[in-house]
Structure 1
Amino acid sequence: MTFSLRFSEVEAIFAELHGVASDKRVAFQGRIKALLRLGLLPGIMQGRGRTAAYGAGDVYMLGIALELLQLGLTPERAIGVVKDGMLPIASGGRLALSTINEKDPPLLSFLYFDPSALEILSAPDAPDAAIESFFYGGTGVIKEHIEHFGLSLSRLALINVSAVINRVYIWLRRTGRELAVPFIADLSEWLESYPEDRDGDDSEA
């Protein structure tokens, strides 16, 4: 069974996961559509009379982009980080899938970076710190990163990739439509299409 969702289903998943109030759903839908208009998911066709089909990879990328918005990045910067950070995003996803349901509690996979909320005040030719510092790893790697940079590290943003994937999986399982297992299977295949990110670290300790 190939995994596929409509926009309304994708929006419902993330509205629940982000605790969006019922009277704010239209605004939340607009936020998702803005990400799509800006090119987050180039393969998704939009327009009057078109029914877009969202695959497992689309749901995963949207989930990461929404987490970046929650951390204070603008839609434009969130999309830039996602597009330039696909290797660590894919590697972090693979690490998450390799540990979900294997342990209780499972080993966790994170994306971590310097959010640089004041990036807009930086020099025009300055590199985007969020993109330049984008890596993945387990809790042990995060600890080592903090200890290594010590007093020079004033901020660090974390996205729990394992939680993003697992919460979508649980939502799908509750629907009773047998979508949860195809989601994991298709997401695994999609993630494997990206090469290993040699700048990351898939170790836990």
Structure 2
Amino acid sequence: MEFGLSRAQLLELLANAMFIAPDRRSALLGRFQHLQRLAIVGGVNPGRGKAAKYSSQQVLVIAFAFQLLQVGMTPERAVQIVKENLSSFDTAIDLLLAGEGAYATFDPCVLSASNNGSNTDVALQSFVIMTRETLPDAIDIYFGGHDVEFPRIVIISLTSIFELICQFLDHGSGMPSSLAFKVALEERGNLGDS
């Protein structure tokens, strides 16, 4: 079962899955183009006159990157976090397909990329994929009095993103089915290999 979304279909899916009002869709397009210029996903730059097709993995990664933008990250940092955590996304996809739930947790440290003037990016250093069962551990690590330097936590539900994508695919006009999306994810290679 083949899966692929055109750019127009992807933008429609993102707008609906993220509850973007019709009058704000030009901003969505602008942010998408910025992420695209930064090469958020590889292999989708077909050139003039050729239609781009986005794979199931790419759709999920782009939807996650938009959530990073929603919590105040710049497009550059969102792309950096995505690219440096591709193996984590592979793990998250496996968890989603197994029905276990997947959540990205990290300290966004939005105002600066580093903590205390060091060259370490706090968001990258603290990025972890959690399951429903391990999510309380993340909260305990951040706020349980441990000797950790992260004063805040962001939790992005990859499970909700996945479910919203599936819902829209099943109800969007002219879209592939959520079954095709899930089968394509099951048959995928590793994100880091693309």
TM-score range, shorter chain: 0.7 to 0.9
Do residues 165 (structure 1) and 172 (structure 2) align? no
Q: Return the alpha-carbon distance in structure 2 between the equivalents of residues 135 and 114 of structure 1.
A: 10
**Contact 1:88–1:111 (CA<8 Å) still a contact in 2?**
no
Q: Which runs of 5+ in 1 are unaligned?
A: 100-106, 196-205
Q: Return the alpha-carbon distance in structure 1 between the equivalents of residues 44 and 176 of structure 2.
A: 23
Q: Which runs of 5+ in 2 are unaligned?
A: none
Q: Return the alpha-carbon distance in structure 2 between the equivalents of residues 11 and 144 of structure 1.
A: 35
Distance 1:145 1:21, change over 3 A: closer
TM-score by length of 2: 0.87
Q: Return the alpha-carbon distance in structure 1 between the equivalents of residues 89 and 166 of structure 2.
A: 18
Do residues 135 (structure 1) and 128 (structure 2) align? yes
**Contact 1:97–1:162 (CA<8 Å) still a contact in 2?**
no
Do residues 66 (structure 1) and 59 (structure 2) align? no
Q: Aligned residue for 1:118?
A: 111
Q: CA deviation at 1:140?
A: 2.7
Partner of 2:98, secondary structure, is helix
Following TM superposition, the consecutive aligned residue runs of length 4 or more in structure 1 with deviations greater than 4 angstroms are: 120-125
Partner of 1:42, secondary structure, is coil
Q: Which amino acid aligns with 1:143?
A: P
Q: CA deviation at 1:121?
A: 6.8
**Contact 1:114–1:156 (CA<8 Å) still a contact in 2?**
yes
Q: CA deviation at 1:189?
A: 2.1
**Contact 1:89–1:111 (CA<8 Å) still a contact in 2?**
no
Q: How many equivalent residue pairs?
A: 187
Q: Which amino acid aligns with 1:11?
A: L
Q: Aligned residue for 1:179?
A: 177
Q: Return the alpha-carbon distance in structure 1 between the equivalents of residues 191 and 9 of structure 2.
A: 26
Q: CA deviation at 1:144?
A: 1.6
**Contact 2:63–2:161 (CA<8 Å) still a contact in 1?**
yes
